Amino acid sequence: MGDPISGLDAAYTARFEAGAQLYNTSLIAEDGLGPIFNKQSCANCHNNPVGGHGSQTVIRFGMEDKEEGFIELEEYGGSLLQVSGIDLACAEELPPMANIVANRLTIGMLGFGLVEAIPDADLLALESSGPGVSGRANIVALLEDPTTTRVGRFGWKSQLATILSFSGDAAREEMGMTNRLVPTENDPNGILPPAISECDTVPDPEDGPDAEGFHFIDRVTDFQRFLAAPPQTPRSGMRGEQLFNQVGCAQCHNASFTTSNDPSLEPFLRNQVIRPYSNFLLHNMGLASDFIAQAGAGQYEMRTPPLWGLRTRRPMWHDGRISEGTFADLINDAIAEHNALLSEGVASAQAYDALSAEDKADVIAFLGSLGRAEFDMNGDESVDLFDLPSVTGCFNGDGTDQYDADSPCAVADIDQDGDVDETDAAWFAQALGVPFDTSDCDGDGVLDIVAIASGNASDGDGDGVPDACSVCPGDFDGDGAVTFPDLVRVLSAWGVCAACPEDLDDNGVVGFSDLVLILSVWGGC
């Protein structure tokens, strides 16, 4: 997670990297930060990984009036509270008439270029008026072209339809950077003093073109549009997903879409099958909602959050209220929230609650596959040599023992053909990256990791190098031990030394660090 989508050429990769740099850049007042803001950079909030979900919350507020309903209090600086400011005299304060206050958890943008490419018609086809579960699309105007509307899909209220709209809105709302989409400054307290002219000294719009003609909002949009979707391992077939569908979760958490084949889209976003587990529609969540009306979404309506990447998401729920315990605890608590009074999720929550403990465990295992990296055998959110013993233990290249999607070995069966063979082991080498995806120490045409995983080479020390190829650093005389004669070799070569074997750390100098390395492996090896 956090990598660019596959298929980017050099030009698109450069755009992704340029966007990532600005996404991580902390703004200052001269850049347009403020006068009020929540964070100084995009990555301050979207950080698990960068561009993904975060644990940060922001505050939304408004006033509920018996006759007029929800009032956003825009004339008092509503409905987003910016908690920081360039000048304390211009700080925003929660207006005293605000009787609705809610936290909003940072959403993630992984795979959202693909989400943006879902045809509107496919989302509209999922609308339902009930009874039971209903869902409606939030039709919103694009900030970049207010005469054009699309089905909203970003934000807790599906209040934005494109990532460029999202970027323009967030730049102004969260960092105070006015831009060509939102060119007017955010007045801290609206009609209350001080006046905006007393707080903001940077001419608007503060965002402008760089040397290549791209604005800040264009650059960070590139980064977000080109982010890969979170992994799902195994990709399909888990019993828990069948139960997930059976109890009704898929009525809102729709598994898959195929992106548009529009030729105006980049080829890597076009005609792609994706599995976000959301319909991006608004649903009445009753007393489990945030009670904030926004951009056409009612107080009790919330967008179905995508579940891809769920494995690494902590905290959960729209306000981050679910944060304690194991992954299973988080999932059980989140499902229980669907049982709130007047929520459309009541039936599904109760159906889940009626499952046996074994069935619930299978549902949780399925949800844990959403965001699990291929070959993360021990589930520590990292693919490394600690996973190698399990991959080796699962290797059954002849396919005698078939692995189904619920087997622990399915995490290493990347092509889901029921076995872990040389093809899967080669993908494991790719997942480990340099040097394991190229290392062939004995030159037999078989990658070292593949040879180890298949049992054709031993790796007693678990370093990913076949024992037959291992060389003991510092054993210059080849006697199988690092002893006094080897130490003498290092001391005799002391000083600047180009490409000499005594330069163990390859820094061009035989010095103290090489002496430390010799002593660290002293003895038989």
Dump pLDDT digits (tens) for 154-200: 999 999 999 999 999 999 999 999 999 999 999 999 999 999 999 99
Compute the mean pLDDT over every residue in the chain, rounded to the nearest whole number.
94
> For residue 435, what are the CA distances in angstroms to 265, 383, 441, 464?
35, 14, 11, 10
The fold for domain 481-524 equals: Type 1 dockerin domain (1.10.1330)
Of 283-292, 326-335, 513-522, the poorest mean pLDDT is in 513-522
Dump pLDDT digits (tens) for 219-243: 999 999 999 999 999 999 999 999 9
What integer pLDDT is reported at residue 324 of this predicted model? 96
Distance CA 510, CA 493 (A): 6
Dump pLDDT digits (tens) for 38-80: 999 999 999 999 999 999 999 999 999 999 999 999 999 989 9
Distance CA 347, CA 340 (A): 10
What integer pLDDT is reported at residue 518 of this predicted model? 82
The pair of three-digit structure tokens given for residue 38, joined into one six-digit string: 């929540």
Secondary structure element (H or E) that encloses residue 61, with its range: strand 57-65
Dump pLDDT digits (tens) for 357-375: 999 999 999 999 999 999 9
What integer pLDDT is reported at residue 525 of this predicted model? 66
Dump pLDDT digits (tens) for 120-155: 999 999 999 988 999 999 999 999 999 999 999 999
**Pairing state of beta strands 273-274 and 145-151?**
unpaired
Given a cut of 80, whether residue 398 has pLDDT beyond it is no
Distance CA 220, CA 223 (A): 5
The pair of three-digit structure tokens given for residue 200, joined into one six-digit string: 């903001």
Given a cut of 80, whether residue 467 has pLDDT beyond it is yes
What integer pLDDT is reported at residue 67 of this predicted model? 92
Q: Domain segments of the chain: what residues?
A: 10-282, 385-469, 481-524
Prediction pTM value: 0.89
Given a cut of 90, whether residue 9 has pLDDT beyond it is yes
Secondary structure element (H or E) that encloses residue 273, with its range: strand 273-274
**SS3 label, residue 59:** strand
Dump pLDDT digits (tens) for 283-317: 999 999 999 999 999 999 999 999 999 999 999 99
Of 50-59, 213-222, 238-247, 493-502, the poorest mean pLDDT is in 493-502
